[in-house]
Amino acid sequence: MLSTLLVVLPIFALVFAGWLARRIGVLGAAATTELNRFVVFLALPALLFDVTAHAHWAALWKPGFIGAFGLSSLAVFTFTVLIQRGAGRPLADAALDGLNAGYANVGFMGFPLALVAFGPEALAPTTVAVILTVCAVFAVAIVLIEIGLRRADPASGPGDLNAGRCVPIWLAVGRSLVRNPLLVAPALGALVPSLGLAVPAPVETFLKLLGGAASPCALVALGLFLAQKRRNRGGPGRDGHARVAGLLVGLKLAAHPLLAYGLGRYVFDLPPLLLHTAVLMAALPTGTGPFMLAEFYRREADLTATVVLVSTVLAVITVSGYLATL
């Protein structure tokens, strides 16, 4: 448990730094939105470009691991979206709920925990988990959010605020997607190894510096949001909020790793290292990606903030318990 706690502590410290900065007035009311926009438009695209540009696809091609972790993430995401849609949630909000349940904090917590638990051999599959999470699952959520927003209001959405109501939904969605830096950046980055190119040293330094700010700034933005007076954006009431948060945390910390274990052991017959790495990655708490999208698309973010914090606290127990059984 100590190793897990040492990995989690910096996360809480960054959230607390944002909370304290807002409470004592160092940062103002607009800081949450502006810092989140910095992450979405600059820091995170740089990180995604860097990850895909330096991916050694031959070494990372692990079909069984991709199947176990990727399918479990997408299955939990899809199941949550369907449940929430059945409960009457708009598609955009249901997609965010699905992301809360299927988006593991692999980028911030995955590498140090995998290194401590399984050694350097686990870093390659951890990299695969990062790519699947921040590119594939994230991209599916963005597409659903854009579709949901366009169906509700063809002229809405940050990607294309001036779209006319006469524009077909598929064209408006496609226009927003090709302008979304969170989708464009990894796609452009993937062209680098595919074309046999190399990233120049100055560009590499730029990407590392800018991309390295993504996770810390997102956590500080989360703390800033928590310090603000609660805003009601049409989300569930207090009782419903707690119920939905409990459901999403349960899906993230229990259903996701159990499904990854079942797929890895009984469907893909993974060797122990890949199996336990897949389960560990799936058992990680919800990352800050859903919160960034909730703020960016101006959706109700209280639920997402609660899921991120509660799942992170409980993961100290659940992840430590899993590692203790190995």
* Predicted confidence (pLDDT) per residue in 54-90, tens digit: 877 776 788 999 999 999 999 999 999 999 999 999 9
Q: 256-293 burial string, b = 16+ CB within 10 Å, else e?
A: bbebbbebbeeebebeeebbbbbbbbbbbbbbbbbbbb
Q: Which overall architecture, per CATH, does domain 2-325 show? A: Up-down Bundle (1.20)
CB-based contacts of 284: which residues, under 8 Å, 6+ apart? Answer: 104, 105, 106, 109, 110, 113, 315, 319
Average pLDDT in the 2-6 region? 69
Give the domain ranges of the chain: 2-325
Contact 123, 10 (CB under 8 A): no
112 residue type, one letter: P
Report the C-alpha gap between 28 and 34 in whole angstroms. Answer: 10
Measuring CA to CA, how many Å separate 34 from each of 27, 28, 143, 228, 292? 11, 10, 23, 14, 11
- Give 262-278 pLDDT, tens digit per residue: 999 999 999 999 999 99
When computed from its CA atoms, the radius of gyration of the chain, rounded to whole angstroms, is 19
Q: Which amino acid is at 305?
A: A
DSSP letter at 237 equals -
Which position has the higher pLDDT, 177 or 21? 21
| Averaged pLDDT score across all residues of the chain | 84
Whether the CB-CB separation of 211 and 186 falls below 8 Å is answered with no
Q: What is the pTM of this model?
A: 0.78
Residue of 144, 179, 155 lying closest to 290 (CA atoms): 144
Residue 38: beta bridge partners? none
Structure tokens given for 131: 């790519």
| Structure tokens, 4 | 């897990």
Whose tokens are 């949550």? That residue is 80
Highest mean pLDDT among 3-7, 49-53, 156-160, 233-237: 49-53
What is the amino acid identity at position 288?
T
The reported pLDDT for the residue numbered 229 is 65
Residue 8 has pLDDT above 80, yes or no: no
